[in-house]
Amino acid sequence: MTTSIDMTALAVFIFFFALVTVLGFVASRWRKPKTLAHIDEWGLGGRSFGTWITWFLVGGDFYTAYTVIAVPALVYTVGAYGFFALPYTIIVYPLVFLVMPLLWKRAKDHGYVTAGDVVHGQYGSRALELTVAVTGVIATMPYIALQLVGMTAALKALGLHGEIPLAIAFIVLAVYTYSAGLRAPALIAFVKDIMIYIVVIAAVALIPSKLGGYANVFASADAAFQAKGSGNLLLGGNQYVAYATLALGSALAAFMYPHTLTGIFASNSGDTIRKNAVLLPAYTLLLGLLALLGYMGHAAGLKLESANDVVPALFQSLFPSWFAGFAFAAIAIGALVPAAVMSIGAANLFTRNFWKAYVNPQVTDEGEAKVAKITSLLVKVGALLVIVLLPTQFALDLQLLGGIWILQTLPALVFGLYTNWFRAPALLAGWFVGFFGGTYLVWDANWKPLHVIGFGENQFTIYTGLLALAANIAVACIINALVPARTAIARA
């Protein structure tokens, strides 16, 4: 992949990046409320987003820059196994349709801003509230860092190396997010998603014609996998269970993250969420097309330093400079939207479930909004430092753990929507077993998110997050059944 600066591509990139920067600052005046000095307005957009805004916003923070880079990279490396993201994003939307309108109503009725608020309101336990909030923050931090990995790949393809371009981009992001709150990524998401659709549709329509058609694309990928002795076009028999459990576990975890919940809580009605559960699978089609770029990388005969370079290298080698610049801008902007929402979600958790709960319970609405704004800046700085100071693999490993960690908050957050049977001490014990047990299993498997279990002579590879969640629920059920209710309430 050429790394010298292409001035045409760079000019196009700068134009579109400048465009979304202007939109970011305009967002503070878009649907302007009486004041942004309230966490409902700054952190949730006034809970006023309708179907289309929610569609772009949730899609924008669910399908990220790192997704655009990482899914084709995984397919390029391992083949069919990398397509697990497709069934995962299909499974998730029926769950959103059934569960999220109930969660939204609970939050709307009681003025809850975060998952921690919902849990405290249900169980009256500060310990469980703090556990859910801390889990959300630490699971989100590496996710933000990985958006920088996606942006770095685009900047590298433009010939921009080092930390300065990345730092400038995130300083701009930090300033307009501080100013406009959730309205900034919501407005930018319109531009970002349209750009991504144009890029992917152009790629899947034109690249195969330059590479001899899809038959040659698949044949070349198959030959490359056979030559290196790993990866394949179709799943092997021993991969079915791992593939299915990875998809299911990822689907269950997806809307437990603070950034996806922020998009849900910002909606104006339960019907808006149900409509989005119907409409959002359009992004799954986009993701399936995007994943095919991994196979096209083999057909193009790319020589890559890293599998993460496959998408930028394809655009750089097969498209004119102006369109390559457009594609790289789409990828970079695709990092800004989710990174902004993630930092806002983490800031909301810190403000509501730590600062207000323990430091200043009498904090005013204006003070609460100010704490959230400052925290969102610190979260972005922390993510930037992870990328600058630590190996990228560290962020990757943490993100794998992040999915397993956030999944352990599901019982506390979701079960209370349907039943009052569970109590806080049981859910805390279940979380403890799932969180630390899952972490140990991933560490024991050399930081792989899959674990092999045996039933007699048969062995199955299962997503560690699901194993941890099963242990979590089992422990919660056993303790809840054995510990008397009065004792449980006293300990909560």
* CA max distance for the chain: 71
pLDDT of 322: 93
Ordered by start, the domain boundaries in the chain are 7-390
CA 40 remoteness from chain centre: 22
pLDDT at residue 73 greater than cutoff 50: yes
- DSSP annotation of 153 reads H
Is the CA virtual torsion 267, 268, 269, 271 positive or negative?
negative
Residue 361 has pLDDT above 60, yes or no: yes
Distances (CA, A) of 142 to 29, 333, 380, 446: 31, 18, 11, 18
Q: Can you list the alpha helix ranges (DSSP code H) found in 408-462?
A: 410-414, 424-444
Q: Are 44 and 31 in contact (CB under 8 A)?
A: no
Pick the range with the lowest mean pLDDT from 9-23, 24-38, 88-102, 125-139: 24-38
pLDDT tens for residues 245-287?
Answer: 989 998 999 899 999 999 999 999 999 999 999 988 888 888 8
| pLDDT of 63 above 80 | no
Residues 6+ apart with CB under 8 A from 83: 75, 288, 291
How confident is the model over 52-62, as pLDDT tens digits? Answer: 888 888 887 77
Work out the average pLDDT over 191-208: 88
Type and span of the H or E element at 462: strand 458-463
Which value, to the nearest 10 degrees, does the dihedral of the CA atoms of residues 199, 201, 202, 204 take? 120
Q: What is the pLDDT of residue 119?
A: 96
pLDDT, residue 2, reads: 56
C-alpha 303/C-alpha 413 separation (Å) is: 46
Three-class SS state of 458? strand
Q: How confident is the model at residue 84 (pLDDT cuts 50, 70, 90)?
A: confident
pLDDT in tens, 14-52: 998 888 888 887 876 766 666 677 888 888 888 889 998
Per-residue pLDDT of 236-256, as tens digits, reads 777 888 889 989 998 999 899
pLDDT in tens, 289-298: 888 999 999 9
Burial of 22 (0-12, 13-18, 19+ CB in 10 A): exposed
Lowest mean pLDDT across 73-82, 95-104, 318-327, 473-482: 73-82
Read off the DSSP letter of residue 5.
-
Q: How sure is the predictor about 394, in pLDDT bands with cuts at 50, 70 and 90?
A: low
Fold of 7-390: Sodium/glucose cotransporter (1.20.1730)
- Per-residue pLDDT of 204-246, as tens digits, reads 889 999 988 999 999 999 999 998 888 888 887 778 888 899 8
pTM of the model: 0.89
Please state, rounded to an integer, the average pLDDT across all residues of the chain.
87
